[in-house]
Structure 1
Amino acid sequence: MGEYENLKKGERGAWVSIIAYLILASVKLIIASIGNSEALRADGLNNTTDVIASVAVLIGLKISRKPPDEDHHYGHFRAETIASLIAAFIMVTVGFEVIIGTIQDIIQQNTSEPALLTAWTALSAAVIMYGVYLYNLKLSKKVNSGALYAAAQDNRSDALVSIGAAIGIFGAQLGIFWLDPLAGLIVGFIICKTAWDIFRDSTHRLTDGFDEKEIEEIRELIEAHPEVWAVRDVKGRFQGNQTLVEATIHVNPSLTIEEGHNITDQLESLLEKRLNIYYAHIHIEPYDK
C-alpha cells in the first residue's frame, strides 16, 4: 500500500539526521572541552538527545511498516508514537542535566573566556543543520510523513540553538563571560521544551486525541457528496501517523445496497486523495427527519 512505501522512503530522512547529529555531537563536545565553552557543550549534548530521537523515529518507521497480524489487526503504526514518547523522557533527563550543570557554574562563578574556535564550530553546525532541515522538510512533504516533518522542525530548532550558542560565545569574547553559561542554560530549557512538546503530542495521540478542525474538514468533505443527505457522526483517531476515520451518513432510503456501497467507496477514495486518509469506515443509514 502507498502508506507503507512512504514510511520506507521516510527512513532516508531519519538516517540523514542520525549521521549529521552523530558527527556534530562528537565534534561539538570535543571542541567544547578543548575550547572551554559551556554553550557549545550544551549544544553538543542537545545533539546527542537528537540522535536518540532520530533513532526512535527510524525504529518507529521500521516497526510501523510491519503489516497487520493476528494480534495487531490495525497494523503497527503506533510503534512510532511509543518510540517518540521514550525519546521524550531521555531528552528531558539530558535537559535537566544541562540546566543543573550551567546553574552550578554560574553560582560558583566558574566562567572563563571560551576559545573563538567554539563560536565558529557552532555557526558551522547551524549551517549544516539548516541544510538537513531543508532536505527533511522537502522529503516529509513528498512522502506525507508527520514524524519526518516533526524531525525537520527539530532540525531547524537545532540550527537556531547553535546560532544562540555562537552568540553567547562571541559575547564572552567581549568580556561578558556569563553569556556563555547563560547560553548553555537557555539551550537546556530548549531541550526540555522540545521534550515536553513531543511528550504532549505523543500522549495526545495515544489517548485517541484528535484535532476538532480536522474533524470539521472531514465532515465538510463528506457532506459535499451529492448523495449524502446528512452527516450524523464523524470520529477520528491516530494509529501512529495514520488517520483512522469513522463516520455515519444518512442517504436516500430508496437506494439499493449496491448504490449505498458505491457511495461509501467514493467517499473513502475522496478522503484518501484529498486528505491522505487511508482508513475510513463509513456507516450508512436511511435518512430520517
Structure 2
Amino acid sequence: MVKYVEKKWEAELGAWISIISYIILAISKLIVGSVAHSDGVKADGWNNFSDIIASVAILIGIKIAKKPRDHNHPYGHSRAENISSLVAAFMMMSIGIDVIIEGISSLFHSGAESAPEPLAAFVAIVSAFAMLAVYSFNARLAKRTNSQALAAAAKDHLSDALVSIGTVVGIAGAQVHLLWLDPLVAVLIGGMICKTAWGVFMETSHALTDGFDEHILTTYKHEIATVDGVKNVADIKARMLGNYVILEVTIHVDPHLTVVKSHEIADEVERLMKQHHNIAATHVHIEPERIP
C-alpha cells in the first residue's frame, strides 16, 4: 500500500510539472506573439493554454478517482477521470476552433503587416527544448509508476515540441517574405489542437460506454483457456473503470469436480490475469461442462 501511494504521488508530481511548464510557456508565447506580431507563436501559446486546462481537469479527475468506494458509489470513483477528460476535450476543441478562425482571418487579411520579429523564433526554440525536457522526464516517470495518464501526457509533450518547431519554420519563412506562412502555421496548429481534442473525446466516450478492444479480449480468452482444468471459455467481457480493467468470464469445468477444486481453478484464472495483464478484478463464473 505504501508503494502504491508513493507511485500515485510521483504521477501527480509529473502532472504538476507539466502544468507549471505549460503556464510559463503559454504566458510567454501569448505575450511575445502579440509583441513580435507572430500568429504562429500566439497559436502555439493557445495550444499550451489548452494543455493547461486538460492537465488540470485530468489531475482533478485522478484525485477524485482515488477516493474509496462508498454507499453511493459501490464501484468507486474511477470514472471521474474519464469525465474530466471529456470536459477537457470540449474545452480544447473550442480553443482549437478559435485559433483556426483567427489564423484564416490573418491569412486572407488584405495588406499583411511586416514579418514576425526574431524574438518570436527564439521563444519557439526555447519552448521546443523545454517540452523535450519535460517529455523525457515524464516518459521515464510514467514507466516507473506504470501511469497510463502520465504516459499519454508525455506523448502530448513530444507533439508540443514538434508544434513549436513548426512555428519556427513558419517564422523563418516570413523572414524571406513568405508572410502567409506564419498564419498558415497558426491554422495548422489549431487543426492539431482539434485533432487531439477529437482523439481524447473518442477514446473517453468509448470507455464511458463500456467499449473494449475485441483483440485484447481474444488474447485474454486464449490465455484463460490454457489454465489447467478449464474445458471451455463460454463467455468473456470487460470494461474500464478509470485506468483499471474489470473482467468477467464464464468457464466450463469438469462437472465431477468438487467445489474446492473448481474454486482453485477460478483462483488460478484470477492470478493469471493479474500477473500477465495487471487486471484489477476478474470475476469468474463456473459452469459444468456438458457431457454429450
Query: Given the two structures, how large is their TM-score scaled by the length of structure 2?
Result: 0.95
| Aligned amino acid, residue 30 of structure 2 | L
Contact 1:92-1:192 within 8 A present in 2 as well: yes
The residue type equivalent to 1:159 in the other structure is: A
Structure 1 runs, 4 residues or longer, greater than 6 Å off? none
CA distance in 1 between partners of 2:6 and 2:220 (Å) = 24
Confirm whether residue 53 of structure 1 aligns to residue 63 of structure 2: no
- Counterpart Cα distance in 2 of 1:201 and 1:4: 27
Deviates most, 148-157 or 69-78 = 148-157
Task: Tell me, in whole angstroms, the C-alpha distance in 2 between the residues paired with 1:229 and 1:143.
Answer: 37
Equivalent position of 2:33 in the other structure: 32
* Alpha-carbon contact 1:4-1:65 (below 8 Å) kept: no
Instruction: Report the equivalent of 1:256.
Output: 258
Q: CA deviation at 1:139?
A: 2.0
Q: What is the 5 A alignment of 1:153-172?
A: 153-172=155-174
Please state if 1:127 is matched with 2:129. Answer: yes
CA contact (8 A) 2:228 2:265 kept: no
Let me know the Cα RMSD of the aligned residues.
Answer: 1.4
CA contact (8 A) 2:247 2:282 kept: yes
Residue 181 of structure 2 corresponds to which residue in structure 1? 179
| Alpha-carbon distance in structure 1 between the residues aligned to 2:145 and 2:173 | 42
The residue identity in structure 2 corresponding to 1:58 is L
Helix, strand or coil: the match of 1:236?
Answer: strand
Taking the aligned partners of 2:226 and 2:136, their CA distance within structure 1 comes to 36
Does the Cα contact within 8 Å between 1:33 and 1:41 map onto a contact in 2? Answer: yes
Aligned partners of 1:111 and 1:181 also within 8 Å: no
Residues 111 and 178, structure 1, Cα contact 8 Å, conserved in 2: no
Give the counterpart letter for 1:106 in structure 2.
Answer: L
After superposition, residues 52-201 of structure 1 pair within 5 angstroms as: 52-109=53-110, 110-201=112-203
1:221 is matched with 223
Structure 1's unaligned 5+ residue stretches are: none
SS at match of 2:234: strand
Q: Distance between the aligned counterparts of 1:162 and 1:268, measured in 2?
A: 46
Q: For 2:270, what is the secondary structure of its paired residue?
A: helix
Instruction: Determine the C-alpha separation between the residues in 2 that align with 1:268 and 1:5.
Output: 26
Task: Kindly provide the amino acid, as one letter, of the partner of residue 266 in structure 2.
Answer: T
Partner of 2:236: 234
Provide the C-alpha distance between the structure 1 equivalents of 2:10 and 2:243, rounded to a whole number of angstroms: 14
Q: In the aligned structure 2, how far is the partner of 1:135 from the partner of 1:277?
A: 27
Q: Percent identity?
A: 48
Residue 287 of structure 1, CA deviation:
1.1
The alpha-carbon deviation at position 3 of structure 1 amounts to 6.3
How far the C-alpha of 1:6 sits from its partner, in A, is 4.2
Cα separation, 2, equivalents of 1:225 and 1:4: 33
Deviations 1:208-237, CA, capped at 9 Å, x for gaps: 000011101111221121211110111011
Number of equivalences:
289
Structure 1 pair 262/5, CA: closer, same or farther in 2 (3 Å)?
Answer: farther
Normalising by structure 1, we get a TM-score of 0.96
Asked if the contact 1:168–1:183 (Cα under 8 Å) also holds between the matched residues in 2, the reply is: yes
Q: Contact 1:251/1:284 (CA < 8 Å) preserved in 2?
A: yes
Question: How much does 1:112 deviate?
Answer: 2.6
- Which position in structure 1 is the counterpart of 2:21? 20
Report the counterpart of residue 209 of structure 1 in structure 2: 211
